[in-house]
Structure 1
């Protein structure tokens, strides 16, 4: 249970912490993060030259993500697939943690969903339903 719950909480924490970063820096920061995620498995080399191909694809997606939350979300979903392949192949993202790729495959879609919604600050979502400040009779 903890192997599923912890990655979800990590994904939510990632979203929460990113909410402190103002736009347009938030989108650019996340584009860089997804680009870096594309290189996460390079040192293991479990899939040979395909590791380089995946890294190149992620660089392109990250570049497009500089102007598009959709591309950043796509990047996190691509990384999810790469996590699954590595988990099944037995080459975890963290060599000392056997189920780390499995956890990453759960965490990444949480971040992707947030990206597909526009990567908005959770603080802004909280204020969406709130009445405007200074309205008489509203506490």
Structure 2
């Protein structure tokens, strides 16, 4: 069980993040997500361990976030770029949280969850879950004898 938790917890964290952010009404939801992905681009700047290369991601993410102001797909691309940077840091750099050795690994699992939601257009999660359960609890129109 302890070997699966480092994978399950980041997925759960990603689902919680997506659910909370999906509570923001449109048209603000996409713009807030663009700002969040821009901020994620600067996450390693305080000591990521890759020297001057640490400036590459914030520059790229600034462009992606700007494009994300009008496109969910660009925000998804941003989260996948951050995933790649997380993997690099897990293998060669410093963790995103200095006190948590495998935090970049966890972030590399969490970020694609958010990216998938963005590629789906950033839908409101709670409304989708309610609709799913409503369909399951409805009685069939013509019950089979």
TM-score (norm 1): 0.89
- Deviation, 1:49, is 1.7
The whole-number CA distance in structure 2 between the counterparts of 1:111 and 1:45 is 22
Q: Does 1:72 align with 2:75?
A: yes
User: SS of the residue aligned with 2:111?
Assistant: helix
1:1-139 pair list within 5 angstroms? 1-126=4-129, 128=131, 130=134
- Deviation, 1:53, is 1.7
Conservation of the 8 A alpha-carbon contact between 2:50 and 2:93: no
Structure whose alpha-carbon radius of gyration is higher: 2
Deviations 1:77-128 (A, max 9, x none): 0000000000001410000000000000000000000000000101332355
Q: Which runs of 4+ in 1 moved over 6 A?
A: none
Could you say what the CA RMSD is over the residues aligned between the two structures, in angstroms?
1.5
TM-score (norm 2): 0.86
Gaps of 5+ in 2: 136-140
Gaps of 5+ in 1: 132-136
- Deviation, 1:66, is 0.6
Deviations 1:47-68 (A, max 9, x none): 1222112110000000110110
Q: Figure out how many residues of one structure are paired with residues of the other and give that number.
A: 132
